[in-house]
């Protein structure tokens, strides 16, 4: 969809809003109460500006046309407290009572750029959390009786807030005991378990102490935007970078994934094709202790936050970074090795479209089916805008895979696997649909003014005109639903799986820095330069150091070419399987602030086929197979067991009883696994033996391929006319 003219109009209006707000931001917020015993995290002036502008943007341009009022304020307070302490493990009832004074004032505070209340609430939380760590560390050394018949209530969400510190202490004591019981059940000596748990708590305490105002602001903004609608999101600068890298499936750096381990960052994975992979000097398991830019001085990074270390290691392609590394298997006291790496653009191939080919037999006839797994609808917009002819995108990748499946693998059918695909680029959803249909409408979009725009595939011809299917599940959302809905409405293929998520709203990504001119950025930088609060962007004051973050603002709503919204209801498959995911826990219809389902007039599209008669036979055959399938039988049992577990809120702390329960569960799981392996001609496995990746079986995929086999059997050698004149059998 082309929002260019619309966004240009908004940009001019936004400039006025931002200019007025910046000039008004001199007003001092209320004094933030001090919480004794912890380092108090405070907002900076940049965040005070951002909260005001986000309010303005939501009130003026969010699709719901909502006003930030007392009702929203109340929702934000509840969501914010829940996001900090969902299990009611840290706050006291007296804390919650004190926070009530903010219930109907946050809306006015946000409009004034005042963040003192939510930051105060966080600092109270930080104090309680620190009390938990200190108390629990002392309790670890207690000699517990693991033969007692007491229980630990791990889910206190529906219970009252603890009335006293004594009540919380008792719950914390039981949590420590539960964690020790779990460690005991692994067969490790109690003394070693005490040591392990002590290290775990100290590490958690250390990492928690590094929380800065960007972290707190992100938690708050999540609570705020989710109170408006589930998909309007504000991202602080680091989160905005992560989001955009996810969309482009690329970044500039060394090509390594990192994780924290006892205050030291460790390489968890080397990304294939990246500079670290090519250089072969860095290995998974290596620990990085210091970083230097080019030939500059090394900076020790032990104990740093992982995002700060990542920021130092990443950088523009062509630049050099040096690392001090303790090789895997060596002690921290070992002499570090110095590694030089020149940064490059790293393509995340493991998160891109992939293909495989499987052969199935239906009524004695063999069919080769190509399966394209698509994890998201991605596009490197930055590279595309820069004129890079080889920029990465979903449609480009899939077209290459189709060419290979068609000309090399000689497949009879193709299945697009969109399970777990949460969406992404709308442009890519439209162009990808165009690989399977000739010119025509793909999606309709209604903006906040009520104007309906029909977005079409304008490219003649198709990449694949043979039998086609699409696999979806409850996690298939947004762009996935646009693609699946268009394929279904056109009668271009068979949709298989479970009802999709139901995310039918359009978000426009707005870089807040781009809404104001450099001169105004310089004024903001001057304001921020006076603020020495923890978390303010490092470096000299200046417009280049101001980063206001990014907002993904819900500005429109999707509709299928036939007129039905994908919002709330999602896409109902032609052939439905039991859902692997709980339908009552996941999905747009579980979100209180979600927009409703509705319909608009159909677009001027012409279906290529009417598959209604074919679907009836496919459904009948699939239901018979599922009824006789051991895999689906166990899936249904798992769904029933999950509902039963959801009703449980406690666990026994008697070690023998807990061990008996787990042994019984493990025995049941092992017996089930071996029963399924026997069906597939695989040898039985023993307790504790790991299943190899080659032995895993995707029964949802298997049933989908059988549906495709039935589809080809029922339709025979058909010719699909993709000039919008129908399909002949």
**509, 511, 517, 522: CA torsion to nearest 10:** 170
pLDDT over 90 (residue 30): no
The pLDDT assigned to 251 comes to 81
Q: List the domain boundaries for the chain.
A: 45-228, 250-347, 351-520+546-728
Rg (CA), the chain: 28
What class does CATH assign to 250-347? mainly beta
Q: Which uninterrupted H or E stretch holds 345?
A: strand 344-347
What is the tens place of the pLDDT at every residue in 570-586?
999 999 999 988 898 89
The pLDDT assigned to 729 comes to 33
556 strand-pairing partners: 447, 506
Tokens (6 digits) for 153? 């209530």
Mean pLDDT of all residues in 397-419: 97
Strands (E), 197-263: 233-235, 250-253, 256-261
pLDDT over 60 (residue 23): no
pLDDT over 90 (residue 365): yes
Mean pLDDT of all residues in 27-44: 88
At 597, phi and psi to the nearest 5?
-85, 145
Mean pLDDT of all residues in 251-259: 87
The pLDDT assigned to 528 comes to 58
CA separation for the pair 696, 691 (Å, rounded): 7
Q: Which uninterrupted H or E stretch holds 711?
A: helix 699-715
Percent of the chain with pLDDT over 90: 59
The pLDDT assigned to 123 comes to 97
CA separation for the pair 254, 270 (Å, rounded): 9
Strands (E), 150-270: 151-153, 233-235, 250-253, 256-261, 264-270
pLDDT over 80 (residue 568): yes
> Residues 213, 108: contact at Cβ < 8 Å?
no
What is the tens place of the pLDDT at every residue in 596-627?
999 999 999 999 999 998 999 999 999 999 99
Which of helix, strand or coil describes residue 688? Answer: coil
Where does 543-654 have alpha helices with state H?
A: 612-627, 630-646
Mean pLDDT of all residues in 219-225: 96
> Residues 341, 320: contact at Cβ < 8 Å?
yes
CA separation for the pair 679, 675 (Å, rounded): 7
Tokens (6 digits) for 378? 């991605």
What is the tens place of the pLDDT at every residue in 233-253?
999 988 888 887 777 667 888
What is the tens place of the pLDDT at every residue in 142-190?
889 999 989 999 888 899 999 999 999 999 999 999 999 988 988 888 8
Mean pLDDT of all residues in 382-386: 81
Percent of the chain with pLDDT over 70: 89
Range from 68-77, 509-518, 628-637 carrying the lowest mean pLDDT: 509-518
pLDDT over 70 (residue 54): yes
CA separation for the pair 232, 225 (Å, rounded): 6
What is the tens place of the pLDDT at every residue in 186-221?
888 889 999 989 988 988 898 888 899 999 999 999
Mean pLDDT of all residues in 589-594: 91
CB atoms within 10 A of CB 264: 16
pLDDT over 70 (residue 25): no
pLDDT over 50 (residue 102): yes
Banded model confidence at residue 526, pLDDT cuts 50, 70, 90: low
At 463, phi and psi to the nearest 5?
-90, -30
Instruction: Please give the biggest Cα pair distance in the chain.
Output: 79
CA separation for the pair 587, 487 (Å, rounded): 21
Range from 189-203, 246-260, 414-428, 454-468 carrying the lowest mean pLDDT: 246-260
What is the tens place of the pLDDT at every residue in 682-728?
999 888 777 776 678 899 999 999 999 999 998 874 444 454 433 33
CA separation for the pair 80, 124 (Å, rounded): 13
CATH among 3.90.226.10, 3.40.710.10, 3.50.50.60, 2.130.10.10 for 351-520+546-728: 3.90.226.10
Catalytic residue numbers read 478, 489, 503
């Amino acid at each position: 969809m082309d929002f260019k003219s619309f966004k240009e109009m908004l940009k001019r209006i936004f400039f006025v809003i931002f200019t007025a707000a910046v000039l008004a931001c001199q007003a001092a917020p209320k004094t933030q109460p001090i919480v004794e015993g912890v380092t108090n995290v405070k907002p900076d002036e940049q965040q005070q500006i951002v909260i005001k502008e986000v309010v303005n943007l939501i009130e003026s341009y969010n699709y719901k046309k909502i006003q930030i009022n007392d009702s929203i304020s109340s929702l934000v307070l509840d969501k914010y407290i829940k996001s900090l302490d969902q299990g009611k493990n840290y706050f006291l009832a007296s804390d919650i009572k004190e926070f009530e004074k903010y219930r109907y004032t946050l809306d006015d505070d946000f409009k004034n750029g005042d963040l003192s209340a939510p930051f105060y609430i966080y600092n109270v939380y930080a104090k309680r959390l620190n009390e938990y760590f200190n108390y629990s560390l002392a309790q670890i050394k207690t000699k517990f009786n693991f033969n007692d018949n007491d229980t630990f209530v791990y889910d206190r969400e529906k219970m009252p807030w603890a009335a006293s510190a004594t009540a919380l202490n008792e719950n914390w004591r039981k949590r420590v005991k539960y964690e020790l019981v779990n460690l005991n059940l692994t067969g490790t000596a109690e003394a070693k378990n005490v040591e392990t748990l002590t290290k775990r708590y100290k590490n958690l305490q250390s990492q928690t102490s590094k929380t800065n105002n960007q972290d707190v602001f992100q938690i708050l903004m999540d609570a705020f935007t989710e109170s408006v609608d589930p998909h309007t999101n504000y991202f602080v600068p680091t989160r905005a970078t992560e989001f955009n890298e996810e969309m482009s499936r690329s970044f500039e750096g060394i090509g390594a994934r990192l994780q924290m381990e006892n205050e030291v960052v460790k390489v968890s994975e080397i990304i294939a094709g990246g500079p670290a992979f090519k250089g072969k000097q860095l290995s998974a398991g290596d620990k990085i202790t210091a970083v230097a830019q080019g030939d500059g001085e090394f900076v020790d990074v032990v104990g740093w936050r992982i995002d700060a270390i990542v920021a130092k290691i990443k950088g523009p392609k062509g630049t050099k970074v040096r690392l001090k590394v303790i090789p895997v298997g060596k002690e921290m006291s070992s002499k570090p090795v110095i590694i030089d790496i020149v940064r490059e653009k790293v393509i995340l191939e493991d998160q891109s479209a992939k293909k495989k080919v499987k052969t199935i037999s239906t009524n004695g006839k063999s069919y080769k089916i190509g399966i394209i797994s698509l994890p998201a609808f991605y596009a490197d917009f930055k590279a595309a805008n820069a004129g890079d002819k080889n920029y990465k995108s979903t449609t480009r990748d899939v077209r290459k895979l189709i060419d290979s499946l068609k000309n090399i693998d000689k497949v009879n059918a193709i299945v697009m696997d969109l399970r777990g695909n949460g969406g992404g680029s709308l442009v890519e959803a439209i162009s990808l649909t165009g690989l399977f249909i000739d010119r025509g409408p793909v999606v309709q979009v209604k903006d906040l003014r009520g104007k309906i725009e029909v977005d079409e595939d304008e490219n003649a011809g198709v990449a694949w005109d043979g039998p086609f299917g699409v696999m979806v599940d409850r996690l298939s959302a947004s762009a996935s639903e646009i693609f699946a809905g268009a394929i279904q409405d056109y009668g271009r293929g068979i949709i298989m799986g479970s009802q999709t998520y139901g995310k039918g709203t359009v978000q426009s990504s707005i870089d807040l820095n781009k809404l104001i001119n450099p001169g105004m950025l310089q004024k903001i930088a001057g304001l921020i330069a006076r603020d020495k609060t923890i978390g303010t962007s490092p470096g000299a004051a200046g417009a280049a150091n101001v980063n206001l973050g990014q907002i993904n603002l819900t500005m429109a709503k999707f509709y299928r070419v036939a007129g039905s919204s994908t919002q709330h209801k999602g896409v109902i498959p032609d052939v439905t399987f039991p859902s692997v995911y709980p339908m009552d826990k996941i999905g747009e219809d579980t979100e209180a602030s979600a927009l409703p389902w509705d319909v608009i007039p159909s677009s001027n599209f012409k279906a290529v086929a009417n598959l209604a008669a074919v679907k009836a036979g496919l459904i009948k055959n699939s239901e018979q197979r599922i009824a006789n399938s051991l895999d689906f039988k166990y899936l249904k049992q798992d769904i029933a067991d999950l509902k039963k577990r959801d009703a449980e809120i406690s666990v026994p702390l008697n070690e023998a009883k807990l061990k008996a329960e787990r042994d019984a569960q493990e025995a049941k799981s092992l017996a089930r696994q071996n029963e399924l392996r026997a069906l597939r001609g695989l040898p039985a496995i023993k307790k504790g033996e790991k299943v190899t990746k080659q032995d895993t079986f995707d029964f949802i995929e298997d049933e989908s391929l059988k549906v495709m086999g039935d589809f080809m059997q029922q339709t025979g050698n058909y010719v699909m006319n993709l000039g919008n004149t129908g399909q002949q059998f």
